Structure 1
Amino acid sequence: MTKEELQKALQEVEEQRNQLKEELNKLEGTDETAGDGVVTMATVAKKALHDAVASGNLKNILDKVSSSIDFAKTAVTSFSQIVEKAQAKMDGKIEEITIQGGMTVMSNMWMPMVLGLIQTQEFQHIMANMLVKIIKDA
């Protein structure tokens, strides 16, 4: 083969290579860059996942989600119990709860109860911790 024939054959191979690359890119996703340094969306996603796992960020995010789900479950369960008690009271099934000193809890006692809760050391520490967390995250 002559030099010209080899160059022509090489050019045809290059054209086929480029066509195959384009077809492959279509199958893998959209290109972020063109040319020989083709980066697909799948490649970007894999790198981002690798970085998130390696740095521990993914674990931290999943821990926060898990914690939030636990809090949400507790809140939903509590609201469900409140609704159940309200339904029982509407049906005339009144359950009386007594507090220290044997007094029955009345519907007009919610404010003194909340004020009593706010005055406890435990509640104040919890609220202080929440406030610090909110300020730090901001």
Structure 2
Amino acid sequence: MKKILGTLLILTNIVIFSGCILNEDEKFNPVALKIESTDLTQTTRDEYTIPAGGGQLTVYSTEEKNPFCFVNWLEINGIECYLDSVENDLYNDKADYSYDWGEIIISSATLPVKNNITIRPNLSEKERKIRIGFNCFRYDYRILDIIQLSNESKP
């Protein structure tokens, strides 16, 4: 009797824990993004370089099920920047974040939501690393790394 009860308990735990591990709602999926820019040069799947003079890019989701893709995380040279809530300004094309390195304007009046990013000139002698996290819905995300060359870098 103890062997049957022990076996039943082990099987119950396996079913419970495998249900948690295999739950599709808990998987993180890299969202498919479209990046429009003449200023970026792609170096790897998620890494780009931009000249010291700066430039512009527009990023949005290409997935029909996730047209709502917003910047939700930002890191500049290893320092995380906190984004203020912009919910009240959505659908007015006025949801924006402005920093010394650049500006992000979220344009959501039409779908898909477009993240218009302007990167200002880098006048320092060091490269600038900008990491931007995009979240579309719950577990759909993507992080892009943009390396901005220094003022003294040669193209």
Report which of the two has the higher share of strand: 2
Give yes or no for TM over 0.5. Answer: no
- TM-score bracket, shorter-length normalisation: under 0.3
TM-score (norm 1): 0.27
Structure showing greater relative contact order (alpha-carbon pairs closer than 8 Å, 6 or more residues apart): 2
Report which of the two has the higher share of helix: 1
TM-score (norm 2): 0.24
Tell which structure's C-alpha radius of gyration is larger.
1
